[in-house]
Amino acid sequence: MQTKKGQSIEDASMQMIEDEIGTHQYNEREWPIVRRIIHSTADFDFADKNKIIFQENAIQSAMNALKKGCSIVVDVNGVIGLLNKQNPKDFGNKIVCKISEPDIMKIAKLEGKTRSQVSMREAKAEIDGGIVAIGNAPTALLEVIEMVKEGIVKPALIIGIPVGFICAVESKEALAKLENTPFITNLGRKGGSSSASAIINAIFKLIRAELSS
């Protein structure tokens, strides 16, 4: 929970974003998510038209799943560190990150894959019907996309916003072309753990607003 002082700082920051951005192309559900990404990164480029891409059913699908207590699978522990811990506690969501497990390294070496790829395969039970949030590892995102195509998993939402140079852009382009799967992604090299966690935090905030209305 925020302290009164902390909340006042956050509110002032959000108002500053509103004032600097002015008009934008996002709808009433998309904008709070984009604004939260901007707040977490101080990067106003995310407000550009179509910089963040929302599959048409992405937000509602994620809200429905999170309210039912679905798992949240992340690529790195850095995403977990930036999540509002009260949300999964209140809604019963399990947070899953397998990348540091000893067996993941063994399997990755044996199969000639990255730990990120293997960690996604090993989390398939939690990914199916759950939320996947990838902020750092393009190979993790490509692996999830492949798993969807193979019919192994059907996530309620894929957040694919890895930062970087090698395969980051390409993995997000591949996600944007994925059919019949809810996703949120972005154009370009930018992204990261802060962006991935910001999206989850913002969706929970939408849920709380809906439940209190």
Active-site residues: which are they? 39
User: Which residues, in sequence order, are CB contacts of 23 under 8 Å at separation 6+?
Assistant: none
**Could you tell me if 163 and 136 are in contact, meaning their C-beta atoms sit under 8 angstroms apart?**
yes
Question: Dihedral angle at the C-alpha atoms of 178, 179, 185, 188, nearest 10 degrees?
Answer: 50
Going by the DSSP 8-state scheme, the letter that residue 47 receives in this structure is G
Contact 194, 41 (CB under 8 A): yes
| 8 Å CB contact between 38 and 208 | no
Of the candidates 72, 91, 89, 98, the residue with the CA atom closest to the CA atom of residue 197: 72
Burial track 14-32 (b if 16+ CB lie within 10 A, e otherwise)? eeebeeebeeeebeebbbb
Stretch (H or E) spanning 181:
none
Distance CA 156, CA 43 (A): 27
